Every structure is written in structure tokens, then in C-alpha cells.
Structure 1
């Protein structure tokens, strides 16, 4: 035994003082009595000359000495030293995904898992430590490492089930980092096992103790929902959904489509065991609103029996075309659909009220600070030599290029094109027998992506063609019958610049299949 405060033993000097008080004779008070017969003993004491008396047996003295010794012993704080085994770390993971709301357990899978977790906390030793993790769409640390059972119980009781999917991999990876290189550590997982992607933690030696919750798989659920314009009738909407059957038996149910709580249609479907069945609805949408689908089957999980999606009617895009009279480009933009097109000869403000500005052979006075497509808008010094060729034939184009992924050149004829010697930093977007006609080089001009020097090929009269655009779906067929001789007469000749294709009305079909080599090494067609 050892003492934490051995200096308190100095209080033991008070023990002789207490005994001394009992050795001293008492001082008697003189009283007048009628007889001294009963006071002979006390008379003998008063007649003695010594101030001390013989110590007699006295219970009060014994009690006082015992209390003094105990007080001194307490002040000295004695203790016994020895070796105590340390506690183990336990990581508790509670699955809070939507599947834990199933009612095949009483009252639900999550409540049963919570009760089992509280029992585990009660069984901890005083030296054990525990971490509480809540696993749902993200992993949340509900309680850091502690041995206080009251804090652990409070953390588990504060956990709530969610409607999110299960992502147990993140929680298990966090538990693996907490228990790494710790002897006796354990990871306790309370889940129904409905979690994909667990192969990532295989063969990692995780000290996992799995507590299975759930008795059966009796559930029908809506697993996908999307709404798109009906390609056959743009005034109607197509609602795509899928219903999954997780039970081992074939299930039948009815599925309802509602728009803003108004029932539109009901269908009866049969879903094979452990399979998924797609369902398509066609419905009119008079305004912006919410489409909802609901299945009427009674199963163990009600959270996935209904799904909703917001559907907003498309608004027309406001496009400003700045050009000197390119009627074909104007018709191409109008044919895109859902486009409010305005035509101007210049841009006078930096932020016009448009969604897109298309610059066609125009250098604006003020560059717009919004989405801008610039075609041949500024001169460059990229090319060392410039020539021209008549009727080059298109043999191939790079359909994966961002400019050409929605464009086809099967019905396009080029009457005349400039011939340039391509620098090494340029990329060829289309191949033709005479010249790399389309050159794709994105140039940043005042913080906006522009496409200077891009060639613009246009379809000949009487043949269908497709207008070229950047990054958006603008492969709209343009009929050549809309182009008349009157338009040809009004067209103003434009200077030919490097990289710009020139098309003249009425010269379609003059293609030369026999290119020739020039002294500068370029492959050209006959003039």
C-alpha cells in the first residue's frame, strides 16, 4: 500500500494530546453538602498533591482516538498499485438507408437495429471505448471515441432513418482506418445487407461483426422516373418510369400517373421475380407542374411506392443574329425550333437581353458578355499562304468533333473554298480532296470562346443540307427551294478571308474528282 499524501501523518501527533486530557485531574467545584459519606472517593482525589491521575478504561477515549486515526488515514490517501488490462475499441455502424424502414421487423428494421445497438452499449466494460457511425447517403460520426455509456446511448437514440440509398462502403472504410493496428478492435454493423459495391472492402482483414436485421424481401419499388417531350407529339410529355420487384415471387400491381394531384392514367403491370419492368405514360402538360407515379401494392416498404418529378415547359431561346444578310444562316436558326430570332447589323451593348449572340462576318463595336458564337469575325495571321479552289469534294468529316457531332455533309456541295497551309497546332475537323476546309481552333477573346476563321459551307439550291452550329443540336434540314434568284441578286459580295468557304447560288454540281498537286505541296482541285 502506498500513500498519495504521506505528509498527513504528521497529524498523528495529536493522539498524545487527546490522551493527556484524560490523565489530568479535573478541577472540582466547592459545594456545601449535608454529609461527606457518599463523597469519600472524590475527597481522596482532592487531597492528593499530584496533578495527574491514573488512566482508567474509558469508551469515550477509545472512540475519539479511533476517529482521529481514521481522519489521519483518509488525509494520507492510501492506494494499492497494480496492473489493469486496457479496454478494446469498438466501432458501431448503424444503417439508416430507406430499406431500413421495412416493417418485416417490429416496429421496423431500424428500430430493432437501434435496440440491439443499445444492448451492445450496455455490455461494454468500463475500459472499453466505442465510436458510433450513421451510414446513409453520407457517413456521419454521431459520437467520437469515448467510454461514457451515457454519451453513446444519447448518440444512438438521436439517429434517424432516411430515404436515401445505402453507401456502406464509406462507413466501412472509415471504420477500417479507426481500427487499423489496434489489437482487439471490432466493427459491429447493424444492417439488412441491401448495399451494393461491398466488393471494394473484400480481403482487407476488417474485424467485422455483422448483425443482420430483416426477415424477408417483400417489396415493389419505383427505381427510376424521367419526363421528356414526346418525339411524335411535342405538345405532349412522355413519362418514363421503372418498377423493381425484389421478392422471389411474381407480383402484380397498378401504377397511377398524376399531374399536380390530378389522376391522369392507371395501368396494370406484372413484374417477374427479382426483375424490373419499364412503364411509359403519354400525357398532356398544360402548365409547369409535378408529375407523380404511385403503385398500389401493399408491401413491407412504403417509402419507394411513390415518386415525383418537376416538369417545366421549355422556354424559347432568345437568339440575336448579327449579320450583313446571311439568309441561309437565318433560316437555319429559325428551323431549330423553340427559338426567338432577332437580326441586327451590330451589337451596341455588352449585355443584350438574349441567350445567345451569333456573329456572322461581323466584328462588333461592343463584344457581348454572354454566350457568343463568332464566325469569321476577326482577321488573323495564322496562315502563311492563302489560295482558292473550285468545287472541292468532301470525302470524310470528324463526327466526334464538338462542332460536327450533329452535322452531316452527305448532301452538301462546296463551290469554292480558300486553300490554306495548316499550322501544326490546328486540328482538322473535316477532310476533302482539295483542302482541309474546316479548321477548329478555339480562341479566347476577352474572356469568351470565339471561333475566328471557321469556314462556313452552305448547301446548294435544290439540295437539302444541314447548318453547322457549336455545341448545340442544330442539325436542322434546310430546303433549297426557299432560296430564290431574288435573294441572289440582293446578296452582297463579301471579301474572302482565310478559312472562309464561299458558296454561289446556281453553281452546285460542278465538282472536280481529279485533284492536282501544286508546287507548294498542297492538293488542289482544278480551278
Structure 2
């Protein structure tokens, strides 16, 4: 115990002396001369008792008054003890719920330890404290609003579970700062329970908030699947790439198991040095069709990154109709794919709707008002049923960004492409921009009603795009995306996405409701309000099953995050240019004891009054 104002104890001396002095002056008798004291012995004894300093003998009232003064002066000196937790009016707790918090270097897991310490902060809340609890995963959630109800807070925290996604700590911190800004004269406290596996927050301003970073985690002993993808070679063969990395500080030996639709396909023995990165390739898979799953048979800190899946489609012939006045670059790029059976024409055939082409390319020629089911690549052309509305015309537009996680624009650098003229596009609600210009989109992709589209609003022959190495890749991506079976669309390669990303499900006509079963076996019914239907509850790694009228499909979610797999905790975080060092426990704060002392003062004075009344 310590005192915030120890000099206040000096007040006891003058105030105590004043009480004693007043007690000495309590009785004032007049002296009289009498003939005998025989009858006045009791009076003489009383006079002796009230003589200076004799009046203080056996005086319970005086002792009680001095004791009350002692407690009062001690309260004025502001005694305090160091208490775990926080003694603030408004407390915000941010719990990192990302995949790395499932690491078992702390038992039973980092997340359970973080929950336990948060519950400790709840128990140590003062009478006037209120707390808000936020979880930070791919999504930010407020699990308990500002409240002083310890039971409600404890119940909400106890039910929390981590997710298999990254940590969007920036979104959580922005929310926390906005909720406490200017709400109280007392600087608010924000406690972050995390292992530090998130991007820097240097662009944020903490204001007057006091941020405490409570480090959760001790070490890193983890081997991860950092990437899983499939590629088609120009010869038509398919290859599966499995990226591996040993994040631990010791050599690890394990088996890499490969499955096709849950049937064992191959086992490879792996030995990896500390920090080693490796890529395994599964070739000669052209005849494979279905889900290929890679699994690490290893005991390490994190299991969420030990499994991943990718989908392979058995090659089939793709009928392609190219409608153009002449574009040798485009024609050659389409012919590079050994699956394509290309038909070229300079005008749309009258019986176009009867052929059922898998892919139709309109190059500078307007499509008809009504299009049958299939895939459509619109180059400097627009259609009423297309994915975008045409906007303003612009000379020499610049590409500022492209969606690398979209199958149409993956692995292509559009930043240096030079375009003479284009019309900006405005994507429809069911489509997304895959190439962004300064004031609008320069590329849109989407699927609706069994029709899939990619629209490019500029003439290829008035750009240098056909001369770049990314052009044949772009055409190959479009073939894969547009000629795929219309069961599901997403924003990643094939039908596998990263955890936390939305899944775009193309719904057949007439289907009003579908069900999605997640990797934990929980089934969720969804009412169809649009197509494609956006499903964003993808926070668990594994396989999701889709079922409904006219649809039966599946997709896989993979963690594949180097930041989450590198589970070594960091020593400090930076917010707004300020560095906050990590602590292994909640910050200790001053718990003042003046409240109980004032109650003691009242209790002593009440007892003193009771004794006084009994003597009357």
C-alpha cells in the first residue's frame, strides 16, 4: 500500500491537538471555600478527574473521536494498492480472434488464455467502470456494449470462439477509438489482447486514449501450407502447387498427404530446416476431376493451416465463337488453349442461339439484346444483359489497381498498360470491378441467370495490352472463368477461396432457398434474393456444401496466410506513431481506498454518538 498524498498525514497533528484542547475545556467550574470536605469527597474526586491531563484518563469518547480523525486524514492522504486490471470509467477490450490465436504454445490455447485474462479484468472493475468488448478477426464484432454488468460481460466473453481468418485490427481499433472519443474527461483505456499478428496501425491517431497491448503467446513451433493452387499448362496438363514453410526454430519432419475427393492419392516425406520454404508440385493430373486436399501429418502449434483444398476439372472441349472484324492477337490467344474449338465470324450467325457455345467473344461488335446461357467476353462492346453500364469517354486512361484475387485478372500486371481511349464502366450490383481506373472501372466481371460476363471497355488494337506477356494469361483466365459450369462463382482460383472472403453462388432459375453446411457440420438456410448470392460466413477453414433445388455444389476455404502462420508474438505495436510495448498481463493500476476509509469514519462517529447518548 502507498499514499498519493502522504504530506496530508500532517493534518492529524493540529486537528488532533484541537480535539484534545476542546476536550480539556469541556467543563468550567467556579471555586468555593467550605468548612468540611467530608460531604464533598465525590465532588473533589470529580474535580481531580477534570484537572488538566487528568481529564484524558479512561475517555472512550476522546479515543473514538481521535480514531475517526485518523481514518479521515488517512483517506485525505489517498491510500492505494496496485490492482490487476484497469480502473477507468470507460474500458474497451479488443480480443484478437484470428487463426494464430488458436496456437497451443499457451495451454489450452492463446485465445482461451486471452479470454481468461479478460474475465480477470471484468472481475476487477470498479463500481463506476463500464466495459465494451470487441473481437477482431476478418470481421469486427461488438460482443458486449458498454455496461457495468459483470455477469453479462462474463457470459458474453465465455461464449467467444476464434476463427480461421486473419486479423483486421485496424477496423477494430478505428471502431474502439470512435466509441470513446470525447465521451469522458477521464482518458479512456483500450486493452488489446493479441499476439501482434496484424498490420501496423501507424496511420491512426490514438488521441487521449491509453492503449495497453497485452501480449498473448510465447513462441512459434509451426509448419504451414502457405499456398495451394492449380495451373493448366499450354499442353493441357494440370498441375497442383503446394507451398510449405517451416516457421519454427527447429528442423521438422512430417508427411505431406494428398487426397482426391477424400481418397489417398500420394504421400511425400518432408524434412524442412528452420525457416525453409518449399513448393511441392503434383503433375500429370489432367485426368483428375474433383477436390484435391493437401494435409500435413504433423503435431505443431496451429492446425488451421495444416490442411488446404483446390479443385480440378477434367479437361473438356470448349466451343468458342469469336465475332470480330479482325483481331489476330485475340484469335491466336484463344487458339493457344488446346481445349478450345474456335469458330471465327465477322457477324453474328442467325442461328446463334441454337449452337450453345460455351464462350462467345464480341470484339467491337454489339451483342444482341437477348443472350442465351453461356459465357461472354465483351471487348469494346456492351450488352443490355451485360455486367456494367457504359460511362464517360476518356483519353489515355491509367490503370490504378486490379483485383489479384479475382480469377479473371490474377497473375497479371495492368499498371503499365497503355490505352488510347476507353469508356469508364459502372458495375451492376451483381458484378465487380476487376480493373480500376482513376474515375471508373476499366474491367468488370460477374455472373447472373446462367450467364457469365467479362467486359473490357477499350479496343485492344488501340492499346499495347496484346503485346504484353499478361495478355495470353488474361485470355486463358477468361476461358476458365467464362466457360466454367454455372454452379458457383467466386473471387479466387477455381472454387476455393481464402477464409473470410465472400463466396458468390450463382443460383439456378426457380430456386428460392438454399442450404450451406460449413466444415463444423452446421447448416444455414439462405433465402435467395438475388443471383449471384453473396455468402460471407466463411470464417472456418474446410469444405462448404451447397444444396438446394437445382443446385448441389461445394467450395473450399483455405487459411493460406503467412501472417497468421508466423505465430511468433511481437514485442510492441505502433498506433499513430506511438509505440506500445507488450506486457504479459493486464496493466496494474492504482486502486484507491478512500471510499472504505470514509465508511469507517462514519461508523466510528456513529458509535461515538451511541456511547455519548448512553452516558446521559
- Report the TM-score, using the length of structure 1 for normalisation: 0.50
Higher relative contact order (CA 8 A, sep 6+): 2
Give me the TM-score of the superposition, normalised by structure 2: 0.43
